Structures are given as C-alpha cells and as structure tokens.
C-alpha cells in the first residue's frame, strides 16, 4: 500500500494586507509555489518621485525553482501592474488570466519590451488546471471590470478559496456573479477563505453600477460646455456607461491618456465597450466642434501628477486647456492616501474656471466595485469556511471583516488578521500560524526594476521636509591642517540667510575638524564628524534636520 506523504501548505501575502493595492498572494508547499495576482500600489505625496510600489520579491527569488504559475483574478493595475517587474526578477513558467486581463497584460509587457518572456493562457469559469499536486479552478464574480474571477485551490491538505475583488450586484453591467457555484463550493467544504475587505466599513449593499447611470445622464444634461470625465482606465463598466450616454446626447468622445486609449481600444475589440467609430474623435480635433458637443474622457481621477487630468489642470497638456464653462467630473472615489493630490487638482481646475463635480451625497457618480457588509455576510454564509483570512484592505478593514465573520458563524479564533509576510499553514484541514517570510516594499522610479532602497526614500523625504546643506572644506592631508575653512551651501533650509547662524555653524565644524586632525584619522571619519556637528548645530537653531553633504578636498 502506497503511503500518502503529507505536504503542509503555506499561505501568505507579499502585498495587499494592511494596504489597498499591491496585491500578491502565494500558496506554497515543499515542491510547488503558485502566485495569485501581482499588482502595484500607487504612491501618495509622501513618496516624491516614486511611480509605483511593488512587493519585495526576495522570497520568490530564493524559491524560484518552486514557482510554477501566476494566476490573475482580473485586469486592474493593483492586480496586474507588478507583472513586468516580477518577470524581470524571476521566471514565471505560465500566467493564467481571464480574457480581458490577458490582453491588458500583453499590452503592458509590450510597453516594457518583454512580451517574449511570458506564456499567457486564458481561462474562464469552466477551466481547471493541475499544477503538480494542486488543482486550480475558478468562479465568476461581479466587479468594475469584465472578466473578474475568484480562485479555488484544492490540495491534499484542504481547500483554499479566494474571492478576488467582487461585489454582489444583482443588476450588473455584464455577467452575474455565480452565486450557485459559490454555494456549491461551500457545501463541498472550504477550509480557508480569503475575502475582499476594501468596503468592510460600509453597512448595507454597495449600489449597483446601473444606479450610476441616472446620475451620469444628469451630469450630461446640466453641462452647457465641454464635459471632461475622469475615471480609472480599467473601470470598463463605467467607461461603457459614459460612452453610451455620450452617444445618446450627441457628444463626440475624445480620449486622453495612453492607458485610457489602450483600455478602450482593447475593450471595444472584445465587445465590452460599444461605441460607433464616428463618435470617437482625435483630441486635436476638438476645436472643430461646439463645446456642447464634446466629451473628453481621461485618466487622473486620483490626482496623479503625470496623469492626463493633472496635466490639463496645470495647463501643460498640448491639446486640452481648461476654459470657463467646462464641467470636470471625478467619477471614482479616492484611494486612501490620495486625498491631498485630488484636492490640489480640484482647486487648480476651479481656479481655471471649470465647474468641478466630485462624488457626494448629491451626485452619486461613483459606485464601488467592492462589497459592503451585507455582501460580505452573504459570501461568508454561502462559503461557510472553517477558517477565514480577510485580505485586500487596511488593518481596520481587515479587523472589521474578521469581527463581522464572527457574527455569521466563523469563530474569532479561526480568523487570522495578517500583515504582509505573515504565514498560515494548512495541514490535514487545520489552519495555524507559522513563521513569516521575507517581505517589504520596492519603490520603482521610472522603469528601473531594481527599485530604490528605504535609505533613498528617507533622503528624499528629508530633502522635501528640511532641504539640504553641502559643506566644503579643504585640508592638507600630509600635514593634517585646514587649508580653506568650511563653506556652507544650503537649499530649502530655514534661516539660510542668517549670516550669524551660518558663521556659528562654520566655527563649530572648523573647530571639530581641527581637533580630529590632531589624531590619526581618515576622510570617512572626518565626514562623520562634519555631519554630526553640523546636524546638531542646525537642529539646535532651526529644529530642522536637513540632508548634510560633506565635501573634503585634499591639497595632496
């Protein structure tokens, strides 16, 4: 008789816990590692110069021989945006993705000129893939982008089920959520459920996407001049509704922003967005039409500095400039942390003469793609998991979701509120905590896959907050004497014009260097002394901690 060898399953996230975005969840045993989603998180104003934040892939590099597949739940950037960086770090034998997500991934990889590095296989709700001893299947869910799915991983140790991003929309734009299949999976038995927590703070049900249609029509009817609507380029359901109303109202559609242009092009090709060719015009042709005949559809609803709407608001776009009578609509809610950037863009638009419409009680122009509490309760009731791990949300969202699960039958001791890197072990249908894996953030500036280390980020924060001071000094290294006393060059420092303050700092630095030169020393030690003395003196006078850059020139 053959003995079945038990291989406990590890479940952990490298991104998506304690944050909204950067989703990456891993399921691993001794021979196999599969990944669910590989997203990015977009930085706020606290990270100057950073374009994307992706997970630290060190653990994956250390286990590269075990990686067998990447499964994508849907085509949003916080689930697929990290793929180019992942593929340049480790080999992914195959990427399984829904139809629309697969097309968006291919387009993104072509932008990075690495389209040949990935084998992409499309799946639907009937697909089943065997990855070593793991069996992976899918169930359809409703979200703000077509072709969204949850994932089921069956192993000898038990069943793991991930909802992906979803909401229970009974009048959706597109296919229904497959509640029958979800209930069937629950009746068969689910050991561990991972479920979307983004809207866990909201009671009731998330409004249907179709509820937004009336508000969109009202905005069109009230706009006397040009209408500029900004939303996520991947919110295909919303874009379809906007285009549908634009055609009804006789407005020509100009699409601004590369990601928006590509998303519309791909979605039209697949039949997810229906709009006649003669309704779409080039942005440079908008002057040929009356202002009341124009709709400009663009990216930038989160206030991103390089997005189309920000460039329009700043007067930097070559074809679109705000003029009195324009109505600008933000048709998406703010991602946590982006509020300041959005407010800045709103004020710039208003200053230029536009009427700005944002999400409010009076203008319900955004419907979330994530489930509120009643939908979360329904999912838990249908699945009836033995153990529960809330995912995709900040800590307070995960905690609320865990407490909510306790009210519908999942004991609190069977719920696990984790951080990125924390690990659960599934063995013989029992889930326990285990040792964490290496994790963290990689900050992407441009397309450099190496990312920036935390020290560089801290330097940027210091420059933003307190400026910098360069201190030059010339010494005779042979005789250990100062040839030219220290000079200070500062940028962005309070009191930099105070001669008395600068002279006092120079005196303290010069005294410290002279004392150090009387002992056996080297350039590294001298730089440390200069930084230490100057930092203390500057902080004492200004309560600021600028970046100190010592420059030592040697006569010899």
Residues annotated as part of the active site: 196, 370
Decide the pairing of beta strands 355-357 and 327-330. Answer: parallel
Closest CA relative to residue 120, chosen from 139, 136, 107, 135: 107
Extract the tokens encoding 348.
């710039």
Instruction: Please state the φ and ψ torsions of residue 456, each to the nearest 5 degrees.
Output: -65, -40
Is residue 165 within 8 A of residue 148, CB to CB? The reply is yes
Helix (H) or strand (E) holding 51: none
Q: What is the CA radius of gyration of the chain?
A: 28
Instruction: State the DSSP code for 525.
Output: H
The answer to whether the beta carbons of residues 326 and 353 sit under 8 Å apart is: yes
Yes or no: say if 21 and 62 are a contact pair by the CB < 8 Å rule: no
Sign, CA dihedral 214-217-219-222, equals negative
Torsion of CA 310, 231, 281, 74, to 10 degrees: 120
Instruction: Tell me how far apart the alpha carbons of residues 15 and 25 are, in angstroms, rounded to a whole number.
Output: 7
Name residues whose C-beta falls within 8 Å of residue 80's C-beta, 6 or more positions apart in sequence: 37, 38, 39, 72, 97, 101, 104, 105, 108
d(CA 355, CA 401): 38
């Amino acid at each position: 008789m053959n003995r079945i060898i038990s291989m406990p399953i590890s479940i952990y996230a490298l991104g998506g816990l304690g944050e909204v975005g950067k989703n990456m969840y891993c399921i691993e045993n001794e021979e196999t590692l599969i990944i669910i989603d590989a997203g990015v998180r977009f930085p706020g104003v606290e990270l100057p110069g950073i374009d994307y934040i992706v997970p630290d892939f060190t653990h994956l590099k250390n286990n590269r021989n075990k990686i067998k597949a990447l499964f994508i739940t849907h085509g949003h950037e916080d689930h697929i945006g990290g793929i180019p960086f992942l593929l340049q770090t480790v080999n992914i034998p195959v990427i399984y993705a829904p139809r629309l997500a697969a097309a968006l991934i291919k387009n993104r990889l072509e932008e990075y000129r690495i389209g040949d590095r990935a084998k992409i296989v499309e799946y639907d709700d009937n697909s089943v893939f065997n990855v070593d001893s793991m069996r992976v299947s899918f169930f359809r869910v409703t979200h703000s982008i077509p072709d969204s799915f949850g994932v089921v991983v069956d192993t000898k140790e038990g069943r793991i089920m991930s909802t992906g991003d979803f909401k229970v929309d009974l009048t959706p734009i597109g296919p229904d959520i497959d509640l029958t299949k979800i209930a069937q999976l629950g009746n068969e038995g689910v050991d561990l459920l991972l479920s979307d927590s983004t809207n866990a703070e909201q009671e009731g049900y998330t409004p249907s996407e179709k509820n937004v249609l009336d508000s969109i029509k009202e905005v069109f009817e009230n706009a006397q001049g040009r209408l500029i609507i900004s939303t996520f380029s991947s919110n295909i359901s919303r874009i379809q509704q906007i285009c549908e109303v634009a055609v009804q109202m006789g407005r020509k559609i100009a699409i601004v922003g590369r990601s928006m242009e590509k998303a519309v092009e791909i979605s039209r090709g697949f039949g997810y967005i229906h709009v006649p060719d003669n309704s779409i015009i080039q942005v440079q042709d908008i002057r040929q039409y009356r202002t009341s005949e124009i709709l400009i559809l663009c990216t930038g609803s989160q206030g991103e500095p390089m997005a189309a709407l920000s460039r329009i608001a700043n007067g930097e776009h070559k074809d679109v400039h705000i003029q009195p009578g324009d109505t600008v609509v933000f048709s998406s809610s703010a991602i946590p942390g982006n509020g300041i950037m959005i407010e800045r863009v709103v004020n710039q638009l208003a200053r230029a003469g536009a009427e700005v419409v944002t999400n409010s009680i009076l203008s319900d122009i955004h419907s979330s793609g994530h489930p509120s509490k009643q939908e979360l309760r329904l999912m838990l009731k249908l699945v009836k998991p033995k153990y529960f791990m809330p995912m995709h949300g900040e800590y307070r969202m995960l905690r609320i979701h865990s407490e909510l699960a306790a009210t519908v039958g999942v004991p609190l001791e069977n719920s696990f509120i984790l951080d990125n890197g924390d690990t659960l072990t599934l063995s013989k249908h029992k889930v326990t905590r285990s040792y964490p894996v290496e994790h963290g953030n990689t900050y992407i500036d441009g397309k450099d896959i190496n990312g920036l280390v935390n020290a560089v980020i801290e330097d940027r924060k210091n420059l933003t907050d307190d400026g910098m001071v360069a201190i030059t000094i010339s010494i005779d290294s042979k005789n250990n004497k100062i040839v030219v006393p220290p000079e200070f060059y500062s940028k962005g420092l309070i009191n930099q014009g105070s001669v008395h303050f600068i002279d006092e700092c120079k005196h303290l630095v010069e005294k410290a260097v002279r004392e150090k030169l009387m002992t056996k020393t080297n350039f590294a030690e001298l730089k440390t002394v200069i930084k230490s003395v100057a930092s203390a003196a500057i902080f004492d006078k200004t309560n600021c901690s600028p970046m100190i850059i010592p420059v030592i020139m040697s006569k010899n």
